[in-house]
Amino acid sequence: MKKMKTKMIITALFAILSFTSCVNFMSKQNVPQQVKHLDNEKVIKQSFALKDFHAISNAIGIDVYYTQSAAYSVSVEGTEQCIAQAKLEVTDGVLNIMNRYAHFYNTSSYSLKVYISAPSIDQISNNGALDFYGDINQSKSLAISNQGSFDYDKGTVKAGHVSIDNNGSLDIDNPMQITDSLRINNYGSMDINNDMNIAGSVHINNNGSFDVDKMMHITGSAFINNYGSFDGSFGLKGRDFEVSNYGSFDSYLKADCDYIKVNSFGSTDMDITGTTKQISINDKGSTDIDTTQLKVLK
């Protein structure tokens, strides 16, 4: 399939340059422990007595390493300069990581690393530059909101309901297992680079650039509204697959479902295989849909 990808780098560069890697905390602090030296700047690791949070909100440039644990713990590794010029606090159950001053430029090549342990995390909000590592096993829901540069680099997600709102650059490189529903609103650049398994409904509203590099496996129904650029593959077993395209939509669908409906008002390129009980194609744009490998059951 053709790839149409435009990374939204401006927000990410701003976050990295003006906020890169810093956190200072309003809480009881232990004596810093020297870890190593880099570029003639002392790198230290500190632990902080922060607890009672279920969400993370980031506004600077950091790498987060999350571990699900019964006990809370927060520690930070970075240069003394960097740690001193940033701020971390817990407010209303949210671990907020932010810049202490109006302007800050990190001169070190060492990125700030934040190590977090908590019983559960059900919200991640990013307005800076965030690389996230760790498994999230949340039985109810997980909400991801991004207006900066967000890479979920490593780990797995298991949750009932997952909602994703993206207005920046978002890469999800880890697998997800969702037992209820998935909702995505994308106005930026979003890449899903691993398999997703959803046992329920999927609702996608895309106004930006959206790529599904592997396969989105759905047992239930899928509803997609596309006004931007969409490139992705689906495996649907269940009820309905419905897409309304007003932009550029390039997709492969392997179906075992009751009903397929395609409303094409833009450029629609699809290959559909498998079986369905009914298919409806409303061609009002530039439409190329190959159904030669699709069997319509009588």
pLDDT at 9: 41
38-134 has CATH 3.40.430.10 classification = no
pLDDT at 118: 96
Is pLDDT at 239 greater than 90 in this prediction? yes
Quickly state the pLDDT bin for 87 (edges 50, 70, 90). Answer: confident
pLDDT value of residue 15: 43
> pLDDT (tens digit, 9 = 90+) per residue, 181-209?
999 999 999 999 998 999 999 999 999 99
The amino acid present at 43, given as its one-letter code, is: V
Which residues 6+ apart lie within 8 Å of 12 measured at CB?
129, 148, 149, 168, 169
Residues 227-239: what's their mean pLDDT?
A: 96
Tens of pLDDT, residue by residue over 47-81, are: 888 999 999 999 998 999 999 999 999 999 988 88
**Structural domain spans, the chain:** 38-134, 135-297
pLDDT of residue 84: 79
Contact 240, 219 (CB under 8 A): no
What is the model's pLDDT at position 42? 83
User: Measured between alpha carbons, how far is residue 64 from residues 2, 3, 132, 140 in Å?
Assistant: 33, 30, 5, 22
Average pLDDT over residues 83-90: 85
Give the pLDDT of residue 105.
58
pLDDT tens across 91-149, in order?
999 999 998 887 655 666 678 899 999 999 999 999 999 999 999 998 789 999 999 99
DSSP codes joined into one string, the chain: --------HHHHHHHHHHHBS---BSS-BPPPEEEEEETTEEEEEEEE------EEEE-SEEEEEEEE-SS-EEEEEEEHHHHHTEEEEEETTEEEEEESSS------SPPPEEEEEES---EEEESSEEEEES-EEEEEEEEEEESSEEEEEE--EEEEEEEEEESSEEEE-S-EEEEEEEEEEESSEEEE-S-EEESSEEEEEESSEEEE-S-EEEEEEEEEEESSEEEEEEEEEEEEEEEEESSEEEEEEEEEEEEEEEEESSEEEEEEEEEEEEEEEEESSEEEEEEEEEEE--
Q: What is the residue type of 284?
A: K
> Considering the entire predicted model, what is its pTM?
0.85
Q: Alpha-carbon distance 208 to 90, whole Å?
A: 33
Handedness of CA 251, 289, 224, 202 (dihedral sign): negative
pLDDT greater than 50 at residue 25:
no
